[in-house]
Amino acid sequence: MRIVRSKLATSAEMDMTPMIDVTFQLIAFFMFVLNFSEVDTDQRINLPASELARPPDAPYSQPLTVQMTADDTILFAGDEMQPDALQSALMREAQIIKAYPNKKLADVTVVLRADRAAKTGKVQEVIQMCQKAGFDMFALRGKQSDVSTLIEL
């Protein structure tokens, strides 16, 4: 018996158009959800939950984020430091803000992101240091909760 081999001489060209369409859609999606304002939030911090924690109506004019992990490490201005080093860093920050003619210390809101397991006394010490540096507006940050946090589950 003779086997007839059919030769596929025509080169198979894949149609790329749908794939490129979908890929561009994906890129557009990721570009829109990319949130640059969240760069100063550290994932190590597990915020306390509250049903009343609502995002501010208007963004703060001068936010200053101080973060505190469960083991009392302070994250401030991109640096990790121990609580006793925070005072000088805050003083420096206050001096810089004062040096600008169009910035005032009273406009600064200190956003405090402390871990839910952090010690209250340590958080209060951070608040005191901020007060000593001249800041007096604070925003205690929590994560939003859909259920009431008053009754422990």
Partner 1 sequence: MKIRHHERSDKIELSMTPMIDIVFLLNIFFLFTFKIVLPEGDFNVQMPSAAAARAAEPSELPPLRLVMKAAPTGQLADLRLAGRSFGNGRDAFAQLQHYIRTQVVAPGGGTPSEQEVEIDADYDLDYDYIVRAITAVTGYIENGQPHKLIERIKFTPPKQP
Interface positions with partner 1 (CB under 8 A): 16, 19-20, 23-24, 26-27, 30-31, 33-35, 38, 41, 43, 47-56, 109, 111, 114-125, 127-128, 131-132, 136-144, 148-152
- Comparison of 2 and 146: residue with beta carbon closer to partner 1: 146
Q: Phi/psi zone of residue 103: left (φ > 0), alpha (ψ -120 to 50 degrees), beta?
A: beta
Q: Which residues contact 119 (CB under 8 A, 6 or more apart)?
A: 72
Tell me how far, at minimum, the Cβ of 20 lies from partner 1, in Å. 7
- Comparison of 6 and 32: residue with beta carbon closer to partner 1: 32
Tell me how far, at minimum, the Cβ of 149 lies from partner 1, in Å. 6
Tell me how far, at minimum, the Cβ of 135 lies from partner 1, in Å. 9
CA dist 22 to 19, 29, 61, 120, Å? 5, 11, 39, 50
SS3 65: strand
